[in-house]
Chains A and B, each alone.
Chain A
């Protein structure tokens, strides 16, 4: 049934796709669509990549706790893209470090 409906939408759930994170080959119906531009709603002229469900859940569903503070601290929108990304990465690395220390 799902194949019929999928086909009507130009989709084929049985076609094989590859998870861009772990490289596993799986059915389209078992995969999650991934857009490297982060906007699956704008679809014109785009081709999409795929993630398996475990990779999708690990990589695309980050907790939002502290996100607002991180963006403010990194001066989002005020500094250029490279500086912003560097600050975010530094901050995330610092957070990861402190979490590891607390665990130890």
Chain B
């Protein structure tokens, strides 16, 4: 079941790399997941443009910045929406004395936010970046916390700018005809702590500037201080409190199992697949419940139905994992323990849920998607064309709602997904309505997967029920690896640079909501203010994985 790595050589990538100017490429390398090239910092745009067009590497999945012993480094993790197994890491080293490279934002729009984060946390600067300023930390922060010279004891002064009167801010480019409106950071429609600075011309949105970082809690640094074997796994649950924790745990499990060359037993893969899909249903039900309220206060019945149905799933997952939210059930090499006894009762509990789900989902459609008010709020609002979605690195139901047929469970298979009968859901409406439909239909597919897993587990011979591989007590892998799974919000990736010690030298998280949210301005500008909330809600962002 484990994927064979590294990826097979790709002719188109090889040809495109060979066609790059000799003086642009400094070296070739290999990461655990993909080949890598090291390029000059002043040729980034040229190289990435060539790779994007000639090798069809149209998805900049993640950008990792880090400080090494003798240099700073930016790694662009490139892949393709049409074939996720085609990957290339583009490494851009910059000297310690002058950490400046060219920005990739003109080639991949998604790099704009990633490079802002790299500047904010590590201190690398990017020439020709359209808006290089801090993104997670306050503007007044002194130093870059992930650089080695950072003084952790230095006192910091953080002003509360949100209290500033809008008229005192220099945001009016239209000579007094516009109005600045702060939405959040504590507005209920932001589902967490998100601040949108919205410039309005009457009811029309001229500009949206998402201000994130309010719940930045140094998750990457905390993971870098944890040992691989047990101390990191509890953290991924905390990047998503909407129920998708098990999917997040899988992201870490996948990358460390590749790095440490751990083979997961087939039985454990089936259990993982089943509970991960229950976790996805939990997350999508939360979205459905909350989005009903986002769109109209009249939909409180849907909100309560959503919570009622979530409770059934939470009971199942509590019986399995012992927890209702912060599951911590995955282990490196498998899962923590076997299914609860008596097994027949557990299967009956799961089947009772999947038995009822079709009629319940039909009810959600009656109340929401077939409702005229709901349609008026969501059809043709929050328009996200597929080309824009790709440019911003959108994934998950947000991308699939724009007709992009991209799902890591199928396109870069892991777990037991490739053995089961299910479909990737796409909707081509490119609007908020399509994103809702995509999630509701995805729950159907998740239930199909769960039912098939139950059938398999019921018949699994008792003597072959191995829940964990034999993993050494202390793991000290070496190498660099970027791996991703299909989280509830999209592509959840983790890059680890392992240096042979028992903790990661660099642990970088690619939260799908981070990229999906970065597309909000492109979706909302030109729309009316009332549609902005419906558009934001339709992205189903969770700030835990945005701010980390």
**Interfacial residues, chain A to chain B (CB-CB below 8 A):** 5, 9-11, 32-33, 40-41, 43, 61, 63-64
Across the A-B interface, the 10 shortest Cβ-Cβ residue pairs: A40-B358, A41-B444, A43-B362, A61-B455, A9-B363, A41-B358, A32-B355, A9-B359, A9-B360, A11-B359
B459 in contact (CB, < 8 A): yes
Cβ contacts under 8 Å, A10 to chain B? 359, 363
Q: Which residue of B lies closest to A67 (CB)?
A: B421
Q: Which residue of A lies closest to B451 (CB)?
A: A61
24 A–B contacts, CB within 8 A, in A order: A5-B308, A9-B359, A9-B360, A9-B363, A10-B359, A10-B363, A11-B359, A32-B351, A32-B355, A33-B355, A33-B358, A33-B359, A41-B361, A41-B444, A43-B359, A43-B362, A61-B455, A61-B458, A63-B459, A64-B419, A64-B421, A64-B452, A64-B455, A64-B456
**Interfacial residues, chain B to chain A (CB-CB below 8 A):** 308, 351, 355, 358-363, 419, 421, 444, 452, 455-456, 458-459
Cβ contacts under 8 Å, B308 to chain A? 5
Given contacts A5-B308, A33-B355, contact A63 B363 (CB under 8 A): no
Cβ contacts under 8 Å, B351 to chain A? 32
Q: Which residue of B lies closest to A33 (CB)?
A: B355
Cβ contacts under 8 Å, A43 to chain B? 358-359, 362
In the complex, what's the smallest C-beta–C-beta distance from A47 to chain B, in angstroms? 12
Give CA–CA (A42, B325) in the complex, Å: 31
In the complex, what's the smallest C-beta–C-beta distance from A41 to chain B, in angstroms? 5
Given A41-B361, A41-B444, list of 18 further CB < 8 A pairs?
A5-B308, A9-B359, A9-B363, A10-B359, A10-B363, A11-B359, A32-B351, A32-B355, A33-B355, A33-B358, A40-B358, A43-B358, A43-B362, A61-B455, A63-B455, A64-B419, A64-B421, A64-B456
Cβ contacts under 8 Å, B458 to chain A? 61
Q: Which residue of A lies closest to B355 (CB)?
A: A32
Cβ contacts under 8 Å, B421 to chain A? 64
In the complex, what's the smallest C-beta–C-beta distance from B266 to chain A, in angstroms? 13
In the complex, what's the smallest C-beta–C-beta distance from B58 to chain A, in angstroms? 32
Give CA–CA (A63, B455) in the complex, Å: 8
Main secondary structure of the interface of A (DSSP, over half): loop
Give CA–CA (A71, B308) in the complex, Å: 40
Cβ contacts under 8 Å, A33 to chain B? 355, 358-359
Cβ contacts under 8 Å, B359 to chain A? 9-11, 33, 43
Q: Which residue of A lies closest to B458 (CB)?
A: A61
Cβ contacts under 8 Å, B444 to chain A? 41
Q: Which residue of B lies closest to A32 (CB)?
A: B355
In the complex, what's the smallest C-beta–C-beta distance from B245 to chain A, in angstroms? 26
Give CA–CA (A32, B348) in the complex, Å: 11
Give CA–CA (A63, B460) in the complex, Å: 11
Give CA–CA (A40, B444) in the complex, Å: 10
Give CA–CA (A34, B507) in the complex, Å: 48
In the complex, what's the smallest C-beta–C-beta distance from A18 to chain B, in angstroms? 17
Give CA–CA (A41, B425) in the complex, Å: 14
Cβ contacts under 8 Å, B355 to chain A? 32-33
Give CA–CA (A9, B364) in the complex, Å: 10
In the complex, what's the smallest C-beta–C-beta distance from B277 to chain A, in angstroms? 15
Cβ contacts under 8 Å, B360 to chain A? 9
Cβ contacts under 8 Å, A64 to chain B? 419, 421, 452, 455-456
In the complex, what's the smallest C-beta–C-beta distance from B420 to chain A, in angstroms? 8
Cβ contacts under 8 Å, B358 to chain A? 33, 40-41, 43
Q: Which residue of A lies closest to B448 (CB)?
A: A41
Give CA–CA (A5, B308) in the complex, Å: 9
Q: Which residue of B lies closest to A9 (CB)?
A: B363
In the complex, what's the smallest C-beta–C-beta distance from A3 to chain B, in angstroms? 13
In the complex, what's the smallest C-beta–C-beta distance from A60 to chain B, in angstroms? 9
Cβ contacts under 8 Å, A63 to chain B? 455, 459
Q: Which residue of A lies closest to B456 (CB)?
A: A64
In the complex, what's the smallest C-beta–C-beta distance from B483 to chain A, in angstroms? 28
Give CA–CA (A40, B448) in the complex, Å: 11
Q: Which residue of A lies closest to B301 (CB)?
A: A8
Give CA–CA (A64, B361) in the complex, Å: 27
In the complex, what's the smallest C-beta–C-beta distance from A37 to chain B, in angstroms? 13
Q: Which residue of B lies closest to A6 (CB)?
A: B356
